[in-house]
Amino acid sequence: MFLKPAPSLPGSIIKNDKKTINAWAMYDWANSAYALVIASAIFPAYYNTITKVNGSTKISILGISIENTAAYSINLGIAFGIVALISPLLCCVSDYNSNHRSFMKFFCYLGSIGCMMLFFFNEYHLVHLALAGMLLATVGYSGSIVFYNSYLPAIATEDRQDKVSARGYAFGYIGATTLLILNLVFILNQKALGVSDDTLFPRLSFLLTGVWWMGFAQIPLHVLPIGLYTAKPKGKSIFNGYMELKKVWNQLKSQHKLRTFLFSFFFYIMGVQTVMFMASSFGNKVVHLNTTQLIITVLLLEYLGIGGAFLFAWISKKTSNLKALMIAVITWILICAGSYFIITPLHFYIAAFFIGMVMGGIQSLSRSTYAKMIPQTGNNAGYFSFFDVCEKTAMMCGLIMWGYLDNLTGSMRNSIIALGVWFTIGLVLLIIVQKMKSVPQTLTS
């Protein structure tokens, strides 16, 4: 169905071709397994269990004693920092040489190998291997997405891009939940299958995620064209990505409303992404949820996220994008206030319900609001590259700050206070944006 190669020459790419679009969407099916199995559901709890020895949650990294969850959080932050730093360069190198598929393949294989490395993490002394595998998987996931997204305008006309993007999201959701449910079946039936090693099925889930990712990725890697341009972009160097970011930053100096919105986005998305990556660790370490309970919670979040996205789309239609975002951020602040006092699994499930309702909505609304606010300069790609780097930098700061506070105080509850502060700053800045007058949406490039 899928394995019919698309034309190799970028100039001959046929837009809106069903087989090419389905093949492209299959990469979401392939790599979303990392986001669900590794980053959200199974690995955080498994990592906490293996790195807890004789009641102590301290581990030694490069001779430094640190809380296990703090090391995990900071490691994730470093991974996103690496991607934020190199993605502008990689995008320009791929444009310059028109070899987008090769870069996508490299990061895909890097990420899947990182997942498979986690299979060998079966005892405390291999924590360095676990953190290295997680870092490679995260860099591979985020790096490959950059090139995956770049294919969208090449394979679909503008009027079809929203629908095609939604198809990719749907493929990713179905693929990731299919694999997660399969792993849950094995974990629940460990005794019935006669397996005495409690680490075997979690470790197999990491191995299977890497194989799943790399295996299904062969479909888009076989079908998608090698590059997107027939010739090197004229007048551009491999460092053009950084120059574009600098140009956008200079333009923002006169775009006070857009600049204030970006600062608001930086703070509240820092909180959103930190919650998404650290919620499972919190649930396991503080509330003492087991892997099965976490898997069920993550599946609940996935379903609620879809409904929440539609809910906030409806709210924004009835009010405005900014008012809908303010409602979402206020909800996040209330979630943080309640989460500080979480004691029982029921409390955690209630918090997860509300997180699911605002998780998808705030992200989709942020991007659409930004799209409406950017000036008509003919440089939309530059502005969205800036937006992407802003988000990944916020993720780096949020995760490192969470880990630092966790290690400093010995409790992730205190890190929740920081989350509340970030969301509050984001809300105040959104209120300021709401009161600011719009400026003419044209600028000279």
Q: What is the CATH number of the domain that holds 28?
A: 1.20.1250.20
Whether residues 198 and 260 share a domain: the answer is no
Whether residues 171 and 268 share a domain: the answer is no
Please, what's the b/e burial string for 306-333 (b: 16 or more CB within 10 A of its CB; e: otherwise)?
Answer: eebbebbbebbeeeebbebbbbbbebbb
Residue type, 282: F
Boundary residue ending a domain (186, 211, 238): 238
Whether residues 283 and 200 share a domain: the answer is no
**Rounded to 5 degrees, what are φ and ψ at 53?**
-125, 125
Domain that holds residue 214: 1-238
Dump pLDDT digits (tens) for 89-110. 877 776 666 678 888 999 999 9
Mean pLDDT of the 34-52 span:
92
- Helix (H), strand (E) at residue 427: helix 412-435
Mean pLDDT of the 331-338 span:
95
pTM for the model stands at 0.86
* Confidence band for 440, pLDDT divided at 50, 70 and 90: very low
* Confidence band for 156, pLDDT divided at 50, 70 and 90: confident
Instruction: Give the C-alpha separation, 183 to 176, whole Å.
Output: 11
Boundary residue ending a domain (219, 238, 257): 238
Whether residues 139 and 170 share a domain: the answer is yes
pLDDT of residue 232: 56
pLDDT of residue 129: 96
120 contacts: CB under 8 Å, gap ≥ 6: 126, 129, 203
Range with the lowest mean pLDDT among 123-132, 133-142, 307-316?
Answer: 307-316
Dump pLDDT digits (tens) for 171-221. 888 899 899 999 989 988 988 999 999 899 999 999 999 999 999 999 999
SS3 60: strand
Nearest of 259, 257, 264 to residue 437 by alpha carbon: 257
pLDDT of residue 351: 93
Whether residues 188 and 330 share a domain: the answer is no
pLDDT of residue 229: 59
User: What does the mean pLDDT of the chain come to?
Assistant: 86
Distance of CA 148 to the CA centre of its chain: 14
92, 98, 104, 105: CA torsion to nearest 10: -140
pLDDT of residue 254 exceeding 90: no
- 209 in Cβ contact with 178 (< 8 Å): no
Whether residues 120 and 258 share a domain: the answer is no
Range with the lowest mean pLDDT among 43-47, 225-229, 244-248, 319-323?
Answer: 225-229
pLDDT of residue 425: 97
195, 197, 202, 203: CA torsion to nearest 10: -110
Whether residues 87 and 127 share a domain: the answer is yes
Nearest of 48, 50, 51, 49 to residue 61 by alpha carbon: 51
User: What helix, strand, coil percent values describe the chain, rounded to 5?
Assistant: 80, 0, 20
Whether residues 221 and 105 share a domain: the answer is yes
Distance of CA 194 to the CA centre of its chain: 37
Question: Higher-confidence residue: 128 or 249?
Answer: 128
- Helix (H), strand (E) at residue 98: none
Number of domains observed in the structure of the chain: 2
Whether residues 229 and 276 share a domain: the answer is no
Whether residues 161 and 298 share a domain: the answer is no
Instruction: Give the C-alpha separation, 133 to 122, whole Å.
Output: 13
Whether residues 276 and 193 share a domain: the answer is no
Alpha helices by DSSP H, listed for 193-239, are 200-223
Whether residues 190 and 270 share a domain: the answer is no
Dump pLDDT digits (tens) for 57-73. 999 998 899 999 999 99
Boundary residue ending a domain (170, 205, 238): 238
